[in-house]
Amino acid sequence: MKEASGQVAGAIIAGGISSRMQEGGILGDKFFQRIGSDTIIEHVARRLSPQVDLLFINANCDPSPFEPLGYPIATDVKADHGGPLIGLLSALRFIPTFPLLLSAAADSPFFPQDLGRQLYERRRKTGARIVLASSRDRIHPVFGLWETTLVSMLETWLADAKKASVLAFATDIGFETVEFPLVTLPGRNETYDPFFNINRPDDLAEARRLNEALK
């Protein structure tokens, strides 16, 4: 994907306050909970890094916990809104010299290893400025390929937006999607959604089970 598309920056969007995890009795930031020997965000970084020319983390909080990971950090810009769309804006502002941004959520450790290539191929065929991933006919707007020149349009759009919704912005601009299939666990008659994300203690337990099954 990198060779085909030129310079592509990758952003791990690490937003949220882990409230549902903490309500379930697990303290601390969910991104630093462990699945096997690595944290959730380390799993995400390992999958995204080979797909991009520069990998960085977008954080909506104190960036110091992310610093030991060794990646550049783009903290959220000041805005009237919150949420992942502000994270996307902050990421787009962070890499003005890159033509494309590939974004991924920090709480989805099993997303496709060919995410960038698939999204780029759809972009090449359609000319879309935004290409988003989907599975089970559900769009996952944080997993997308974005033209970085969209940053000024996003700033203007946010000035009048009542709610900072990634999907609403993409819909107003126009976007294409790539449908990713469910993944079959090796040696089992069982599938899982590659965009499975971790919000609650039960999700963390399921992620640990999947990780063991994938070894």
In the numeric block, the tokens 């550049």 are attached to 72
Q: Is 58 flagged in the annotation as binding? A: yes
Strands (E) in the chain, as ranges, are 8-14, 34-35, 38-39, 54-59, 73-75, 100-105, 130-135, 138-147, 176-179, 183-184, 191-192
Q: Is 107 flagged in the annotation as binding? A: yes
Q: Is 17 flagged in the annotation as binding? A: no
Q: Is 162 flagged in the annotation as binding? A: no
Q: Is 2 flagged in the annotation as binding? A: no
Q: Is 70 flagged in the annotation as binding? A: no
Strands 54-59 and 73-75 turn out to be parallel
Q: For the chain, how are helix, strand and coil distributed in percent, rounded to 5?
A: 40, 25, 35
Nearest-CA neighbor of 106 among 16, 211, 181?
A: 16
CA distance 191 to 197: 15
Q: Is 36 flagged in the annotation as binding? A: no
Name the binding residues for GTP: 13-15, 30, 58, 76, 107
Name the binding residues for Mg(2+): 107
Name the binding residues: 13-15, 30, 58, 76, 107
